[in-house]
Amino acid sequence: MPIHLFIAILTFYLMLFGAGAQASLKLPETVKVDPAALTTEPMCDPKISPAWREAQEIEGVKIEASPGCSPDNPAWIAAAVKGTNHISMETLMKTGLSPDAIIKTDDLDGDGDPDRIIIKLEIMELNGKSPDFPGVIPTFDIAPGIQPGAWVFAPKTSGMSTENFESVRANPLLRLPSPVIRVEVGDIVQIVLENTHYFPHSIHLHGVDHPFSHKDHGGNDGVPQTSERELMPGERRIYEFQARQPGTMFYHCHVQTHTHLAMGLAGMIVVEENKPNNWLQTLNIGAGHVRHPSVAVKEQFDQEYDLHYHAMDKELVEIIQKYNDPRLIARDMNQRYDATDATEDYYTLNGLSFPYTLRESLIVVEPDQKIKLRLLNSGGELIAIHTHGHHATITHYDGVEHNPVAQIMRDVFDMAPAQRLDLRLETVNDGKHSYGEGDWLIHDHREKGITTNGMAEGGSMSSIVYTSYLNGSGLPKVSHFGIDLNEFFTKEYYERRYPIWQDLDETASLGSPAGQMGVNAATQTSLLNALYGLLIGLLIYLVSAKREQIKQSAAAAVSRLKSPKGSNQ
Amino acid sequence: MAKTIITFLLAGFVTFSASAFAQQQTKPAEHDQHDHSGHDMSQDSSGTATDHDHDHHHDHDLSAEHPIDHSDHTMSPQSAEHGDGHHHHHMDHDHIMDHEGTMIMGQNLDKLPSSCKSISQEVEITVRAGRKYAAKFPGTAFAFDQQQWQVKPCSKVTFHFVNEDNIRHQFMMHGLPKYLYKYGMFHLEVTGPKTVSGTIIVPGSDDTFLVHCDISHHMEKGMKAQLVVGKGGENIPSIPGVTPYNINDTYEAENLPKVSDKAEQNAMVRQITTFTNNNLQNYGMMLIGVLIGLLCIPLFKKILFRKKSD
Ligand SMILES: [Cu+2]
Ligand SMILES: [Cu+2]
């Protein structure tokens, strides 16, 4: 009986093969993904009011226009310039900042601006694991559907970590990158770190003139091996300095630096020249366009942008999404993660990857402008930033001015990890400084720098875009070239489920082929596997059922083998 | 065969449920209710350096009983000078905030829930928050001193929220009736070490309300509790020591260095000179193996026999 079954299954199996062979006479049709099947996000975040783009004055603070589609909240800028202790409750409520987030007092040198600055920073986790539901919280997307676990220094906030109780999206103050800090030469600055995170951390002020140890607050260099103990959860520490030199500098956590820095605990800190009436925008939340530049910058430039390049390793940032127990996270990060095996997967500019960089990290220019760009590389590898259509001049390396007569122009700017460059970009159409108006890419020329988890188009790519190439919603005008950027604003694109060339021609010649007729390859193999299983099962059954028979025949065989041996003896 | 499989499954299930049970059992915090007198007592009893007792900070504390007079702090258009405007207090009916961010939101001193005819009792509960309270729950980072409080329906409850850390914490309650509480929320927030107090009137029916700190990952890492009104409603998950997590991490034994490893290492060193010792150990293990084998023979026999008789 089982023998018949055996044969039947074999026949079926052969028939399957036959069907496959027949189908391959004609290759599968192209299947086009219907745009309606995609979760298309609006290209411009609808939660951000277009009124924020306009030049305006709040609390006596002049705020420059910022025509990009997601400009900074003007109330943030007013609070950062005046201090949260000098603004109305109405404005403060629009910021979400704690009333003691930025305290400015005492004009010590009598030049019309406050010289005692207290900045309170908390440490917030983004996209971490919850023990309550299978998602992450609070969410921060660096690109559609891309939510790497991250830690950031955040300005001290008030209230919830999410937009509201129903939402899992992070409060807009909790975001990558850690905010840009701006202080003046001679300011007595206290950066107060309130460690709201479940791990120990610190702040190291890379490049900023600071004492190794402070008379009141002790160790001041942020390094647990040289100057201080790790700042434990629930604790507060004051880092105090009075910088004597200006420059574009860097601050970051120095506890387990190889992971903490990469997790996002890194930001730009700018020490501006001391000038009269120099009310600085103490925090540039989210970096990017500086809408209230310092007196010194305004003297020499038309615009200023903070460009913070960063990179994250997927294997690292996923650790906080794998476990909730801090002990397990600590174990995987400190003992199991091997930084020498690390590969960076997410490249960001000002905390975001393309296409979100188009929302808020465009460098929007007019012809014949001088623009100051401050670049920081907080990634783990060298980067090579290329400005399409422009050569810019390097004026400062690591915050120190380069000899003016020796300053050079380039179109690729290589930056070692932790390096800062100040560039002067001149939009003079002379074939060298600029080739004219356009929507000119600015991107990391290591080709992986324009990928997100290895897939283009993504990474830290953005644009130097002339206002004549900006559309009404503050995005680069590309539709007149027949370009549609909508596909990038879908999570399916970055899930690698969208055949990116399907719309290049009418026939979708490079679209996605349909599966095999009848049974596709995957089901075919799984069916086959099931069949093998069945066959093995049958075989085992046969063996056990006919065990006696087999035994007997085996015994007979053995005796047959033995007998000639015996006869030989 | 089938029997052995079932036995194994059963054994697995038992160990599994045992661990689940263990998690549930981790000492359901004693829900002693703080009444009027208890409140001040407990404050005084912990007058150590870190415990900034209530009295000390009394004049700084933002509390329901001493609302800040906002009449002379109304926000005037800001003068360009700095150094003044140091205090701003925001007050509307359900949002009070001082210059340090100490906050009371959604407080209700007098509005009776529709399910109540009168206030059944007035209770004061002191809630302490801090990293140190996480110590009794391994695998958490922040916690309240208690994870559950019980009050009668229609109680007027004043919470004294004592933050003992040097960072912000919140006492945030959700699910309250929205006609009385904006967003159904009651929210105390303060940067420690400091205390903030606020009052609510709980509804007249049995229910259980989520209490947590909403600072990123404070709730996820332990700062979670529940207020049980009357007999309570449905339990809230992932409260340390009270309810199990919805999603559990998996734990594995790790190869951590032990003092006994050192002894073994020493033994290895000795082995070079006197390897008979070690051999003895090996022979011992072998002997144990043989004994187990011998003991198992009848068992094997039985299994074989049964098969044959089948
Ligand atoms: Cu750190
Ligand atoms: Cu908290």
Q: Is residue B2 part of a domain?
A: no
Q: Is residue A537 part of a domain?
A: yes
Put simply, whether A201 touches B (Cβ < 8 Å) is no
Chain B hits for A548, CB-CB cut-off 8 Å, are none
The CA radius of gyration of chain B, in Å to the nearest whole number, is 30
Give the total number of structural domains in chain B.
Answer: 2
Q: Is residue B28 part of a domain?
A: yes
Q: Is residue B243 part of a domain?
A: no
Of A331, A348, A365, which residue is a domain's last? A348
Domain co-membership, B47 together with B147: yes
Rounded to two decimals, the pTM is: 0.80
Domain co-membership, A314 together with A226: yes
Q: Is the pLDDT of residue B8 over 70?
A: no
Domain co-membership, A128 together with A13: no
Of B229, B248, B282, which residue is a domain's last? B229
Residues 6+ apart with CB under 8 A from B201: B108, B109, B110, B111, B112, B113, B116, B119, B154, B155, B156, B157, B180
Rounded Cα distance, A41 and A146, in Å: 13
Please report, for residues A29, A273, A283, A295, the alpha-carbon distance to residue A298 in angstroms, rounded to integers and kept in the order given.
Answer: 60, 12, 17, 5
Q: Tell the residue number behind the tokens 């001049």, with chain if given.
A: A393
Q: Do B167 and A125 touch (CB under 8 A)?
A: no
A40, A33 Cβ separation under 8 angstroms: no
Nearest to A98 among B101, B214, B221 (CB): B101
Q: Tell the residue number behind the tokens 């202790």, with chain if given.
A: A85
Burial class (CB in 10 A: 0-12, 13-18, 19+), A222: buried
Question: What pLDDT is recorded for position B9?
Answer: 42
B199, B108 Cβ separation under 8 angstroms: yes
Chain A hits for B214, CB-CB cut-off 8 Å, are 159-162
Domain co-membership, B268 together with B220: no
Of A348, A372, A401, which residue is a domain's last? A348
Put simply, whether B215 touches A (Cβ < 8 Å) is yes
Q: Is residue A474 part of a domain?
A: no
Peptide bond connecting B193 to the previous residue in cis, omega within 30 degrees of 0: yes
CA distance B117 to chain A (A): 30
Domain co-membership, B147 together with B291: no
Residues B133-158 have a mean pLDDT of 97
Q: Is residue B190 part of a domain?
A: yes
ipTM given for this complex: 0.85
Domain co-membership, B202 together with B290: no
Domain co-membership, A8 together with A143: no
Domain co-membership, A193 together with A275: yes
Domain co-membership, A232 together with A344: yes
Q: Is the pLDDT of residue A140 over 60?
A: yes
| Bridge partners of residue A466, in order along the sequence | A365
Put simply, whether B182 touches A (Cβ < 8 Å) is no
- Mean confidence (pLDDT) of chain A: 92
Residue A328: helix, strand or coil by DSSP? helix
Residues B150-161 have a mean pLDDT of 97
Residue B83: helix, strand or coil by DSSP? coil
Q: Mind listing the pLDDT tens digit for each residue in A84-129?
A: 999 999 999 999 999 999 999 999 999 999 999 999 999 999 999 9
Domain co-membership, B193 together with B274: no
Q: Is the pLDDT of residue B252 over 80?
A: yes
Domain co-membership, A24 together with A101: no
Half-sphere exposure of A84 (CA within 13 A, CB side): 26
Rounded Cα distance, A232 and A194, in Å: 10
Domain co-membership, B28 together with B131: yes
Better-scored residue on pLDDT, A149 or B40? A149
Put simply, whether A88 touches B (Cβ < 8 Å) is yes
Q: Is residue B139 part of a domain?
A: yes
Domain co-membership, B33 together with B126: yes
What 3 state SS string does A322-352 have?
Answer: HCCCHHHHHHHHHHHCCHHHCCCCEEEECCE
Question: What pLDDT is recorded for position B66?
Answer: 42
Q: Mind listing the pLDDT tens digit for each residue in A399-434?
A: 999 999 999 999 999 999 999 999 999 999 999 999
Rounded Cα distance, B207 and B203, in Å: 8
Nearest to B216 among A83, A131, A174 (CB): A174
Burial class (CB in 10 A: 0-12, 13-18, 19+), A54: middle
Q: Is residue A75 part of a domain?
A: no
Domain co-membership, B188 together with B275: no
Domain co-membership, A188 together with A277: yes
Q: Is residue A392 part of a domain?
A: no
Q: Is the pLDDT of residue B88 over 70?
A: no
CB atoms under 10 Å from CB of A313, counted, come to 21
Residues A195-218 have a mean pLDDT of 96
Residues A465-484 have a mean pLDDT of 92
The domain of B141 spans 10-51+60-74+87-229
Domain co-membership, A128 together with A6: no
Domain co-membership, A165 together with A309: yes
Question: What's A316's domain CATH number?
Answer: 2.60.40.420
B contact residues 63-122, partner A, Cβ 8 Å cutoff:
75, 77-78, 80, 82-83, 85-86, 88-90, 97-101, 103
Question: What pLDDT is recorded for position B267?
Answer: 72
Of B210, B229, B248, which residue is a domain's last? B229
- Mean confidence (pLDDT) of chain B: 74
Confidence band for A467, pLDDT divided at 50, 70 and 90: very high
Put simply, whether A127 touches B (Cβ < 8 Å) is no
Domain co-membership, A273 together with A178: yes
A155, A120 Cβ separation under 8 angstroms: yes
Domain co-membership, B98 together with B203: yes
Of A293, A315, A348, which residue is a domain's last? A348
Query: Residue B37's closest CA among B120, B144, B119, B123?
Result: B123
Q: Do B191 and A100 touch (CB under 8 A)?
A: yes
Ligand nearest the Cα of residue A204 is 1
User: Residues of chain A with pLDDT > 70: what percent?
Assistant: 91
Question: What pLDDT is recorded for position A534?
Answer: 75
Q: Cα angle vertex B92, ends B87, B96, to 5°?
A: 50
Domain co-membership, A6 together with A122: no
Peptide bond connecting A57 to the previous residue in cis, omega within 30 degrees of 0: no
Domain co-membership, A173 together with A294: yes
Confidence band for A462, pLDDT divided at 50, 70 and 90: very high
Q: Are strands A412-415 and A383-387 parallel, antiparallel or unpaired?
A: antiparallel
Rounded Cα distance, A561 and B6, in Å: 44
Domain co-membership, B179 together with B267: no
Q: Is residue B109 part of a domain?
A: yes
Chain B hits for A165, CB-CB cut-off 8 Å, are 174, 183, 185
Residues A225-233 have a mean pLDDT of 93
Confidence band for B285, pLDDT divided at 50, 70 and 90: low
Q: Mind listing the pLDDT tens digit for each residue in A427-453?
A: 999 999 999 999 999 999 999 999 999
Question: What's B25's domain CATH number?
Answer: 2.60.40.420
B258 CA to centre of ligand 1 in angstroms: 29
Half-sphere exposure of B136 (CA within 13 A, CB side): 17
Q: Is residue B239 part of a domain?
A: no
Q: Mind listing the pLDDT tens digit for each residue in B183-219?
A: 899 999 999 999 999 999 999 999 999 999 999 999 9
Residue B284: helix, strand or coil by DSSP? helix
B contact residues 242-281, partner A, Cβ 8 Å cutoff:
245-249, 251, 254
Dump the DSSP string for A83-104.
Answer: -TTSS-HHHHHHHTB-TTSEEE
User: Residues of chain B with pLDDT > 90: what percent?
Assistant: 50
CA distance A235 to chain B (A): 5
Give the total number of structural domains in chain A.
Answer: 2
Runs of H (alpha helix) within A132-272: 257-260
Query: Residue A4's closest CA among A548, A551, A405, A538?
Result: A538
Helix (H) or strand (E) holding A138: none
Rounded Cα distance, A253 and A203, in Å: 5
The domain of A561 spans 2-28+516-568
Better-scored residue on pLDDT, B222 or B71? B222
